[in-house]
Structure 1
Amino acid sequence: MDKKIRVLHVAEAAGGVERYLETLFKYSKDKVENILVCSQNYDYEKFKRLADRVIVLKMAHDIQPSSDIKVERTLRRIIKQLKPDIVYAHSSKAGAFARIADLGLNNKVIYNPHGWAFNMQQSAKKQEMYKWVERISAHFCDKIVCISDAEKESALREKICKLSKLQVIYNGIDLEEIEKTAPMSRSQLGIPEDAFVVGMVGRLSKQKAPDTFVKAAKLIKEKIPDAFFLMVGNGELRDQVEELINRYDLGASFLITGWVDNPTAYMKIMDVGMLLSRWEGFGLVLPEYMVCGVPIVATNVDAIPNIIKDGRNGLVVEKDNSVRACNEVVKLNSNISLKESLIQNAMIDVKEKYDSKRVARETEDLYIKLISSK
């Protein structure tokens, strides 16, 4: 196919979706014309360099009828004007926007939930609402991309759509970029050079369980006096997290960096990396820890057990179990051979399975297949 495939990506949620798009654009630019319609939460300057065109629309994360209708109208006008071969919607809110705006237009539509909303911890009523929204919306797209086997299994279990509409394309990371990233300086961050650094990378939100991390930190500090705790990220729970840190008198052994452009530079100074999520569509931070040579302690929820095999390439614990999380960190501190074995196996796995070049390649194949079926 000589002519580039024109793909209009629609994205509201930042964070993991933003990183996904960053690497997808980087490795698909030779064959794909990537146009991004994104919310105000995105780094416009960064994506202006990565995408062929970036259009920013003010999008609300929650349902706001008057605002949402304006976005729908504008988005439909953009699709009509640019005439993409494919509209690719990322995450649930953008998935609704794009599929409604595209009704009756002559292109193919892909939807990637990046973690089903109905798998989040919330009221049963809300979960059922999200399931019905997804079941209805599934009729208005040609393919649904699942980022893990767990995502696909959830869709089939909840009867979101037929098996033939689902395609698994495992998440990936930019191995080349991470390998050439220089580690942060401990002294620059105020971390003692001989400290045992336990880290968490992710949004300070209910999903990522920063409260469990702090509770585990209290227990770890009692058993490993030179432990230091590094939280890379920001979020709506930051005030509560800082309050908990102060209540446990851990302020001198804690650093919350806020949002950073290069989280893997911080990972490279960690002795253990944790992901204690209460639910997780994939968890890009896991393969990032792997390629940085950081042993992992993670919860056994949703897609995480697809990536972390307990005792082989990481250690898994139950969600909200700060005692068990502490015990696994202490085990890694004292058992050097276990730590080295986990790192070695993780490095093999990440290079075989989680390269973002493979994500771009498989996504391009999907584009071609859909266009050919017109």
Structure 2
Amino acid sequence: MNILQALFFPPEQPGGVSSMIPFMLDRFNKRGWEMELFSLPKRVRGKGVEPVQFATFDWQAYTGNPIVEKYIQTYKDYVWWTKMRLTKSYDLIHAHHPIAALVMKQLFPDTPIIMTVHSSFEKELLLNGKIKENGPEYAFLTSIYRELEERVDQLLTVSHSFKQYLADYVTNPDRISVIPNGFDEKRFRPVPHENKVPQLITVCRLVPAKGLDTLLLACAELKKRGNPFVLHLIGDGPIRPELEQMAIELNIYEEIIFYGYMLHPEDFMPFFDVFVLPSRAESFGSVFAEAALCGLALVGTNVGGIPEQIVDGQNGLLVPVDDVPALTAALEKVTGDPTYRYNLGRIAWDKAQNAYSMSRVVQQLKSVYRTYRKEQS
């Protein structure tokens, strides 16, 4: 089978999907499968001019809205780039972004298209204060799910929680299959180490949706109670200046290291002790699985796909969203008891090896891909 993996962001970009797919492709290629990557480079902007039409709704009802107009222009650019770069046919195309999926079906109507919905763009914009719930942008973006259901051959998503979210926007949610993301066990693995002061780490884009203000407030309370720690905050984003100022005002700037953007945080993630991220929404939360494979104790919020990864008290701790006292108590528990956090990390590693290894996702996708090979024969 000759398969195309169609991304939106280039594979060299960091982040769950873009960083995961090349390693997955390598596993398939080593097993004799023909597989290629395709994505839209950042430099391609404003090139496409072909009109865009959807089968299930009229997007032009949202004409003039900046977010919608940008989305449509990106769709046009993806069409332009695909026509220019793809000159051969494929037995199957697996897309990892709605624009990629819909464009591929438009240009290759006879090719089976599988689409994995990895995240909710509208929820991210909502939590980051960019759009309002039930506003025009929200309506447009959620309409895309029904369009995907109508046009692609198979919808996948990464957690049961997100499948339930999608159920409100499609007509037949039972046809959506769940395949959690997989991660290369060679990239993410434990390293023996001993830290005198507990080392906390979080890796994310610095945006309101990640709940980092809650984390800083909890860390401030942790310090007041006399619990030593260092927080390593890896990532960049629009609220970094605000977070740095908040750390100064809370008197915890000396306990926090702001790294900014880092291409390969997994190179030294295993040397820390606790991964913590109090997100306000996560479709899956890939970074929790990555941290678990590194043997870290996990602290997360009881939202989205995170509870599907963390069993509270067994392989990590779950707290409610925006609950500073609960997060403080969880951090105090894992920083104050080295044996307890070691056991949490050990069990987290064991579960992640079984549930989120790259070997597992390759086997599951093979089964899906072979279904379409049988249908074509």
C-alpha spacing 1:268/1:6, structure 2 compared with 1 (3 Å): closer
Q: Retained in 1: the 8 A contact 2:145–2:166?
A: no
SS in 2 for 1:260: coil
Secondary structure of 1:373's partner?
helix
Aligned counterpart, 1:282: 284
| Counterparts of 1:68 and 1:182, CA distance in 2 | 47
Amino acid at match of 1:143: Q
Aligned to 1:177: 187
Q: Which amino acid aligns with 2:282?
A: E
Which residue of 1 is the match for residue 91 of structure 2? 85
Instruction: Give the Cα separation in 2 of the matches to 1:341 and 1:181.
Output: 15
Corresponding letter in the other structure for 2:258: I
C-alpha distance in 2 between matches for 1:38 and 1:176: 25
Whole-Å separation in 1 of the counterparts to 2:18 and 2:312: 29
Equivalent in the alignment of 2:315 = 313
Structure 2 CA distance for partners of 1:23 and 1:356, relative to 1, 3 Å = same
Q: 2:203 aligns with which of 198, 201, 204?
A: 201
Backbone CA RMSD of aligned residues? 2.7
The question of 1:138 aligning with 2:138 is answered: no
SS in 2 for 1:82: coil
Match of 2:328 in 1: 326
CA distance in 2, matches of 1:358, 1:32: 16
Matched, 1:111 2:115: yes
Offset of 1:269 from its aligned partner?
Answer: 2.6
Aligned ranges for residues 145-160 of structure 1 at < 5 Å? Answer: 145-156=156-167, 158-160=168-170
- Give the percent of matched residue pairs that are identical in Structure 1 and Structure 2: 20
TM-score normalised by length of structure 1? 0.83
Cα offsets for 1:296-346 (capped at 9, x unmatched): 110000111111111111100111222211111101122344323322321
Q: Give the letter for the 1:310 counterpart.
A: D
Aligned to 1:261, what secondary structure does the other structure show? coil
CA shift for structure 1 position 90: 1.1
Q: Offset at 1:165?
A: 3.4
Equivalent-residue separation in structure 1 for 2:74 and 2:349 (angstroms): 46
Identify the residue that residue 217 of structure 2 maps to in structure 1. 215
**1:160-212, Cα deviation, whole Å (9 max, x unpaired):** 242453221121211123238798xx9xxxxxx63221211111122222222
For 2:190 and 2:230, locate their aligned partners in 1 and report how far apart those are by CA, in whole Å.
25
- Can you give the 5+ residue segments of structure 2 that lack an aligned partner in the other structure? 48-65, 127-131
Partner of 1:73: 80
Distance 2:191 2:334 in 1: 25
Matching residue of 2:133: 124
Which residue identity does 2:316 align to in structure 1? Answer: G
State the shift of 1:220 in Å.
1.7
Q: By how many angstroms is 1:255 displaced?
A: 0.8
* Residue identity matched to 1:361: Q
Aligned to 2:240: 238
User: How far off its partner does 1:147 sit?
Assistant: 1.0
Q: Compared with structure 1, are the counterparts of its residues 273 and 161 closer, same or farther at alpha carbon in structure 2 (3 Å cutoff)?
A: same
Q: Per the alignment, in what secondary structure is the counterpart of residue 84 of structure 1?
A: coil
Any conservation in 1 of the 2:4–2:38 contact (CA below 8 Å)?
no
Length-normalised TM-score, structure 2: 0.82
Matched, 1:165 2:175: yes
Segment of structure 1 superposing worse, 57-66 or 280-289: 57-66
Moved more, 290-299 or 331-340: 331-340
1:28 corresponds to: 28
Summarize deviations over 1:213-251 as a string: whole Å, max 9, x none: 222221222224531110112222222222222222322
By how many angstroms is 1:349 displaced? 0.8
Q: Is the 8 A contact 1:11 1:36 kept in 2?
A: no
In 2, the alpha carbon distance for the partners of 1:18 and 1:59 equals 23
Give the unaligned 5+ runs of structure 1: 42-55, 187-192
Structure 1 residue 369: deviation in Å?
0.9
Counting matched residue pairs gives 345
Q: Structure 1 residues 118, 225: CA separation in 2 closer, same or farther (over 3 Å shift)?
A: same
Structure 1 residues 5 and 361, CA, compared in 2 at 3 Å: closer, same or farther? farther
